[in-house]
Chain A
Amino acid sequence: MNVLVCVKRVPQTGGSVVLTDDGQDIDTRYAAFTVSPHEECAVEEAVRLVEAGGGTSTVLTLGPDMAVEQLRDAMAAGIERAILLETDGREWDPVATAAAIVSALAAERAAGIEYDLLLFGNEAADTGDYQVPVRVATALDLPCVTGVKALRIEGDIAEARVEAGDGWDVFEVPLPAVVSVREGINLPRYPSVPGRLRAKKREIIRYPADPGPAGPTGPAKVRLHLPREQQRSVEILGRGPEAAPAVVALLLRLGVLS
């Protein structure tokens, strides 16, 4: 079976976030880049499905040329093919992003590749729009399940489980289908050194990034803000194990110890 997995390049922020002066972006001058943990799991899931069932795995991203780094990371983890829909680095909204993915799928079909399964992250790490997979599914008239934490393919059916309360919602959808996954569905492997070397040499397939026909689109970013934070000063209870009585006195005061 042929599996496509979509990932998005995002900055790896640490203990704090700094915005650019115009408030349009996160200051990424000193940042490393990565993809969402959900998407790392989608990549792992694609690799496992193809290992188990044959076919081919492909990773796709819409982003700047530098996003080739994230495509190679996915190939180092075992994905075979990579597609870049290159942008000038400006943010695309989820409507345009979904349209570009749909258009790339048409180009793939023209090149003779049809997908049985389109895998996504549940939400992008940065924008958290919660909609690209649903929009792709709607445009292609495919069944869609989001937030999946367990996936099994049996013949032409995907059994997908989503956490709901203290149980699982079990979906069974016919393939081809769109599935978005959440971290925890699997434990991604650590890319091997030979895997990384192999990934470096692989070709990157490029299709034009096509935002689709003009129409209602958005949300349109006005600017970013950082949430107001309560100013608090930390009280140091002590150093090392000698601080234990102070910790316990505090727990008693906070009423969590009786």
Chain B
Amino acid sequence: MILVVVEQSDGTVDRASLTALAFGRHLAGMLGAQVSAVAFGPSAEAALAALGPAGVVRGWAIQTPSLDGYAPAAWARGTGQLSTSVGARIILGPGTQRGNEVMAHVAAQLGLPMAANCLEVRSADPFVVMRQRWGGSVLEEARLDASVRCLTVAENAPVAELAPVAPSGEPSAAGGEPSAAGAEPSPAGAEPVLVGRFVPALSHGDLRSRVMRTVPRASAGIPLAGARVVVGGGRGVGSAAAFGPLEELAALLGGAVGVSRVVTSAGWRPHTEQVGQTGTRIAPEVYLACGISGAIQHIVGCAGARTIIAINTDPEAPILSRASYAVIGDLHAVVPAVSAEIRRVRGGG
């Protein structure tokens, strides 16, 4: 059996967990196994009940009052105890901050290895995964040798591209259950999910680290992660003051300003605007990269952009091999000219 840890809020399973479920379903087809899911909190049962179309056969809700809030070690304890009691051979989590944290605890508590941010399982025996390193700019083929395999699924794993695998009916050494061979998964996945409750045995130590309260975070303007247009500025912008024209262009396009790490390290702009491996991942329709060279750690953050337009003085800058369009020139002249042209086209002068 494959056990998938899902994150949900108010009964809705989030996107990264759906990706993990799709990955799990594909793996279940490969191994001739079933997909089960575990969720936490007051609306866990409702969330699990809705997972039939995702191929989930069995759901377990862990909703003891002490676990209503997020408590990583305790969520892991519950997951580990459940996996042992149901005989799961593979435990999957989403490749989110929480998913990676919970799965790291599961693996540490059970004394197992863990592979984070996997894109695919390449072979079941030996168990070989392809996983992301360097924020996804390098891939690692890695073996996971253990009685129970713990892994997380990269948020951007190409699960839509995974061909559906017909159940082989052959129990596999790696994750199938002999008793379940050939019996599932139901190809349509429309069967109702059998949802039950699981009550873990927690120690005081499991609950030391938990969310005591949540407070709002001050945010200004359009959130970078969801912006349709991002105007990016790098070292080439030159100073904090020189961001004015980029802000103006972003405002004209209803977009947000994004920056490179050089810019945040210099203190020109806040880290909330940093795009990249250690910043935010963006997926806009258009990313205008101004004075940004295109280091791989920046590129992994903007690889989701539909179109990249680079403005750079250097026709050899690496960003040009990632961009669809480019203007060769000084951004200090080009950016204001683009804003002026937009105003002209709109007839505003």
Report A's interface with B, CB cutoff 8 A: 13-17, 19, 26, 36-38, 93-95, 98, 122-123, 125-131, 134-135, 137-139, 141, 143-147, 162-164, 166-174, 177, 182-184, 187-188, 215-227, 232, 234-248, 250-252, 254-257
Q: In the docked arrangement, what's the CA distance between A144 and B209, Å?
A: 6
Across the interface, B310 reaches (CB within 8 A) one of A36, A135, A147, A234, namely A234
Residues from chain B with a CB closer than 8 A to the CB of A184 are 264, 270-272, 274, 279
Any chain A CB within 8 A of the CB of B216?
A: yes
In Å, the complex CA distance between A122 and B310 comes to 31
Q: Chain B 219-256 against A: per-residue CB contact (8 Å), 1 yes, 0 no?
A: 10001000011000000000000000000000001010
B217 lies within 8 A of A166 (CB): yes
Instruction: Determine the chain B residues whose CB is within 8 A of the CB of A216 once the complex forms.
Output: 111-113, 145-147
Residues in A neighbouring B160, C-beta threshold 8 A: none
Question: B135: CB under 8 A from chain A?
Answer: yes
Number of residues on chain B facing chain A (CB within 8 A): 102
Residues of chain B contacted by A254 (CB below 8 angstroms): 285-286, 306-307
Interface of B is mostly: mixed
Contact A130 B101 (CB under 8 A): yes
List residues of chain B with CB within 8 A of the CB of A167: 214-217
Q: How far is the CA of A224 from the CA of B132 in the complex (A)?
A: 10
- When the two chains form the complex, which single residue of B72, B113, B328 contacts A146, counting CB atoms closer than 8 Å? B72
The answer to whether the Cβ of B63 comes within 8 Å of any Cβ in the partner chain is no
Among A126, A168, A187, A238, which residue has its beta carbon within 8 angstroms of that of B133? A126
Cα(A188)–Cα(B297), bound, Å: 19
A162 in complex: contacting residue of B97, B109, B116, B130, CB < 8 Å: B97
CA distance A64 to B221 in the complex (A): 45
Are A16's CB and B296's CB within 8 A? yes
Interface pair B278/A218, CB less than 8 Å apart: no
Contact of B214 with A138 in the complex, beta carbons under 8 Å: no
Interface core residue of B130, B212, B219, B325 (most chain A CB under 10 Å):
B325
Q: How far is the CA of A15 from the CA of B341 in the complex (A)?
A: 32
User: Which residues of B does A touch, CB under 8 Å?
Assistant: 70, 72-73, 97, 100-101, 104-105, 107-109, 111-117, 128-147, 152, 205, 208-217, 219, 223, 228-229, 253, 255, 261, 264-265, 267, 270-272, 274, 277-279, 285-286, 293-297, 306-307, 309-310, 315, 317-330, 333-334, 336-338, 340-342, 345
Q: Would you give the shortest CB distance from A188 to chain B, in whole angstroms?
A: 8
Name the one of B117, B144, B147, B209 contacting A128, with C-beta atoms under 8 angstroms.
Answer: B117
Return the 10 tightest CB-CB contacts between A and B, nearest first. A15-B318, A184-B271, A218-B113, A241-B337, A219-B142, A138-B108, A244-B337, A131-B104, A134-B104, A143-B208
Question: In the complex, which of the residues A122, A227, A242 contacts B137, with contact meaning CB atoms closer than 8 Å?
Answer: A227
Taking a contact as CB atoms under 8 Å apart, the answer to whether A224 and B140 are in contact is: yes
Chain B min CB distance to A159 (Å): 9
Q: Check if A128 sits within 8 Å of B341, measured CB to CB.
A: no
What's the nearest-Cβ distance from chain A to residue B274, in Å? 7
Which residues in A have their C-beta under 8 angstroms from that of B329? 238-241, 243
Report the separation of the CA atoms of residues A215 and B104 in the bound assembly, to the nearest whole angstrom: 17
| Cα–Cα distance between A245 and B343 once the two chains are bound (Å) | 11
CB distance from B87 to the nearest CB of A (A): 18
Residues B341 and A236 in contact, CB atoms below 8 Å apart:
no
Kindly name the residue among B97, B108, B212 whose own CB sees the greatest number of chain A CB atoms within 10 A. B108
Supposing A219-B144, A256-B285 touch, asked if A171 and B318 sit within 8 A by C-beta, the answer is no
Give bound CA distance, A169 to B215, whole Å.
7
Can you offer 28 A-B residue contacts whose CB atoms are under 8 A?
A14-B318, A125-B277, A126-B138, A134-B72, A135-B107, A141-B205, A143-B73, A146-B101, A146-B104, A168-B215, A168-B216, A169-B214, A184-B264, A187-B264, A187-B267, A218-B144, A219-B115, A221-B141, A222-B128, A234-B320, A234-B325, A234-B326, A236-B315, A236-B326, A239-B328, A243-B334, A251-B342, A256-B253
Q: Which residue of A lies closest to B207 (CB)?
A: A143
Q: Which residues of A contact B70 (CB under 8 A)?
A: 164, 169
Chain B residues whose C-beta falls within 8 Å of the C-beta of A17 in the assembled complex:
134, 137-138, 296
Indicate if the CB atoms of B138 and A250 lie closer than 8 Å: no
**Could you tell me the distance in whole angstroms from the C-beta of B302 to the nearest C-beta in chain A?**
14
CB nearest to B134 among chain A residues: A126
Residue of B nearest to A186 (CB): B271
Decide if B133 touches A37 in the complex (CB within 8 Å).
no
Pick from A162, A183, A227: contact of B136, CB below 8 A. A227
Closest Cβ of chain B: how far from A67's Cβ, in Å?
18
Which B residue sits closest to A241, measured CB to CB?
B337
**B217 CB contacts on chain A under 8 angstroms:** 163, 166-168
* A218 and B142 in contact, given A135-B104, A234-B323 (Cβ under 8 angstroms): yes
Q: Shortest distance in angstroms between B330's beta carbon and chain A's nearest beta carbon? A: 7
Contacts of B116 in A (CB 8 A): 123, 128-131
A143 and B70 alpha carbons, distance in the complex (Å): 14
A14 to chain B: closest CB distance in Å?
A: 6
Identify A14's interface contact among B146, B265, B295, B333, CB under 8 A.
Answer: B295
Contact call B132/A128, Cβ cutoff below 8 A: yes
With both beta carbons as reference points, the residue of chain B lying nearest to A169 in the complex is identified as B211
Please, which residues of chain B bring their CB within 8 A of the CB of A183? 264, 271, 274, 278-279
Could you say which of B108, B214, B306, B340 contacts A164, with CB atoms under 8 Å apart? Answer: B214
